[in-house]
Amino acid sequence: MSHPTTMTRVAAVAASAITALAVAMPAAQAAPPEPTLRSEAPRDVKIGSAVWGQRDLLDYDPKNPTEFQRILAEEFNSLTPENDMKWAEIHPEEGVYDFSGADAVVAFAEANGQEVRGHTLLWHSQNPQWVIDASATWTCEEARDVLEEHIRTVVGRYAGQIYEWDVANEIFQDTWDAGGVRLRTEANPFLKACADDPVALIGDAFRWAHEADPEAVLFLNDYNAEGINTKTDAYYALVQELLADGVPIHGFGAQGHLSLQYGFDESIQANFERFADLGLKVSVTEADVRMPLGEDGEPTAEQIALQAERFDKMLEACLNVPACTSYTVWGFDDARSWVPGVFPEGYATIMTEDFEKKPSYYALLESLTEATPGKSPRTPPGLNK
């Protein structure tokens, strides 16, 4: 029978040997993180999503994010306030501003190494009631004063925190409206008040924004503006006129709200290239691809494949034009998509209501992975850039 001290000594030696062996053996390699849209993006192209700060980010806790917030941080390095910077939300009453939703977006972006696109400063829609009422009797000078004060206040508040601004949004009518493509001097209260020279007001909107934040890249933005058509021809002529007048306009944004009920305009890259040749940056600013659904509310396999193709074609056009600075989806999950509330269509985003990644997501991921130059640095959620 062994002496107790001998047993103790043997156990100690065995324990030391196990410890030494563990130290000598290489530690098990941690599995590499799953690739994300932001991690695979080229360094010079931001991959973004729209988000409604007032709805989804006011409760943000970096130590305990919701699943939506976690995905938003992991997948995207650019955010666009979907509604929080529109007039009705940020300037609800004359002389009264509500920055809570916009502040929530900017704070979330700062916490997660993301940048922010500002949206939007001059638009015919989602204006507060006080603007609608007051504009009925505005002179051009009164309209200019209201617009200038708003732009300087909002852009100035976020100076240095917004890398791109949609200054003028949807300022042209569509070709199917009576009279064809023309400036919205009826629907836009500011352009209506200055209908004698609306281009001068548009130019000054860019000047005021530039003076409030000289570093921000300032955009025109519109839908049905992907390819070369009568609307983008009108924008092309307007840009030349503004540039000739010394207006600090820097970018042209094609929203990318597509529907499978219509064909795809293959001239998007050529359109981007002609604006780039004028010295402008270009971006896909609000991409989604909606579709009519059957009685069961589900898309067909053919629709799913075609949706992925169209999301990817818009991205490829951006990646193929060096002047393209950002590609933004207008929300990433179907639960928050604006589409069903406006159109009899749905399934418009790159993830389902339960955050299941669709083929559209993987099509974008593959194209980003194959793109050059390089990859964007991964910034773990919760860390400042």
Distance CA 200, CA 206 (A): 10
- The answer to whether 137 and 150 have CB atoms below 8 angstroms apart is no
Give just the sign of the alpha carbon dihedral 371, 254, 224, 71. Answer: positive
Distance CA 37, CA 31 (A): 18
Q: Which residues share a beta bridge with 282?
A: 252, 324
Asked if 353 is an active-site residue, the reply is no
Which of 74, 82, 170, 226 is the catalytic position? 170
Q: Report which residue type is found at 349.
A: T
Q: How many CB atoms lie within 10 A of CB 94?
A: 11
Distance CA 299, CA 296 (A): 9
Q: Locate 377 and state its tokens.
A: 């640095």
Asked if 286 is an active-site residue, the reply is yes
Residues 6 or more apart whose CB falls under 8 angstroms from that of 136 comprise none
Which of 40, 89, 286, 316 is the catalytic position? 286
Q: Which residues share a beta bridge with 78?
A: 48, 115
Q: Report which residue type is found at 279.
A: G
* Residues belonging to the active site: 170, 286
